[in-house]
Each structure stands twice: as structure tokens, then as C-alpha cells.
Amino acid sequence: MALDLTRLFGDIDIYLFDQLLRGRLTPGMRVLDAGCGSGRNLVHLCQAGYEVFASDANPDAIATVRALAASLAPHLPPGNFRVERIEAMTWPDAFADVVLSNAVLHFAGDDHQFGAMVQRLWDVLKPGGMLFCRLASTIGMEHRVRPLSGRWHLLPDGTERYLVDEALLLALTARLGGVLLDPLKTTVVQDQRSMTTWVVRKGSAAPMLPS
């Protein structure tokens, strides 16, 4: 059984799997994985009849995803998978029904890059579409992370990340004109790091973040 689940779903993020279980992603939707890595969240989508697209700044990651798609969904053209940074994605505006950003936004170098990344994720999302993000935060770890510069922090696990907090994510949701589909959900990994899930529905209007 475990092998069957791995074949069907790969190493899918458990919180994205939760969105599948609740019917928020359905076959036929156009899904863009922004910062896709090796495609851990694309195994099921490729096999289940979704229109799958992906971007990543790492050429090796995109080569891996193209090979994965060729084996699981040979009808998907290689051009669906592009080497590009999130803030410079070349997909048209209002392109995708669902945009995924899993463990990527916390690599933003500063506030400007973070804002540019979020804005591009929002721009390529269709009105009524869903933005699903998992990113590192200070939530539940406020006294265990060490500020370095701006929102860059040193985590107890020894890594350095751009960390958001509840106030920032709620303010972003409001400024974008979005609606939280779920309350913010945060997992604290035994005093090492904190990962927050931010799931937002895009309204009919598309406000822009201040530059």
C-alpha cells in the first residue's frame, strides 16, 4: 500500500494533499508550481489530468521535472517547464487556476525581492484562483530565532531565512484583496524551524502591492 501511495502521490507536501482531499484542486485545472524543485508536488497532478506548468531558477531542477513529466504525462510539452526566478516568471497574467509556492519565499534576499515574488505569484493567478504557499516564519519561534538584518534570521537549525510573521501575512492578504481560505497554520519542528501555510483566494480585482 505504501508503495502504491508513493507511486500515486510522490513526496507531496502534506498540506497540499489536504487541499486535494477538500476538492480545491480538481483535474482539468491549470496548476503552476513556482519554485518547483525536483517536482515533489507534481507527481499526482501529472498523472491525474491537470494542466501542469512549473518554473524554477535551477536548470537541473527543471531538467528533472521535464523528465518526470515525460514519464508520467508525455502529452505535456517541455515548454511547460521553464528556468526562471519567481519574480521574473514569463507566464501571462491571470494564467493559472492554482499557483503553488512551496518552501521558496523564505529565500527572498530582502523585502523588495519578497514583495516582487509575491506580486508575480498573484499576477499569474486567475481571479477566483487559489494561491498556496508554505514558507518559514517566526510564528511559535519568536524567542528562538536571531535577527540578522531586516527579516533575515538565523534559525536554531543553523540556516538563515527570510521569515514572515502573522501580521505580515494578514496585511499582505488584505492589500492584495485576497481572502484566506484557511486560517494560518504553522508547524514548529521541535525547536528547529517553523513552517506556515498561507492559502488565499484571489478576488475579482487585482490590487498591486506598494513598490
Question: What is the pLDDT of the chain when averaged over all its residues?
Answer: 93
pLDDT at position 210 over 70:
no
Torsional class of 103: left (φ above 0), alpha (ψ -120 to 50), beta (otherwise): left
- pLDDT tens across 151-175, in order? 999 999 999 999 999 999 999 999 9
Which amino acid is located at 56 in the chain? Answer: D
Output the CA–CA distances (angstroms, integers) from residue 25 to 20, 76, 90, 98, 107, in the order listed.
5, 18, 23, 8, 26
Q: What percent of the chain has pLDDT over 90?
A: 89
Rounded average pLDDT over 136-140: 97
Contact yes or no for 56/36 (Cβ under 8 A): yes
Assign 2 a pLDDT band (cuts: 50, 70, 90).
Answer: low
pTM metric for this prediction: 0.92
Sequence spans of domains, the chain:
2-202
C-alpha cell recorded at residue 2: 505504501
Domain spanning 2-202 has what CATH number?
A: 3.40.50.150
Rounded average pLDDT over 170-188: 96
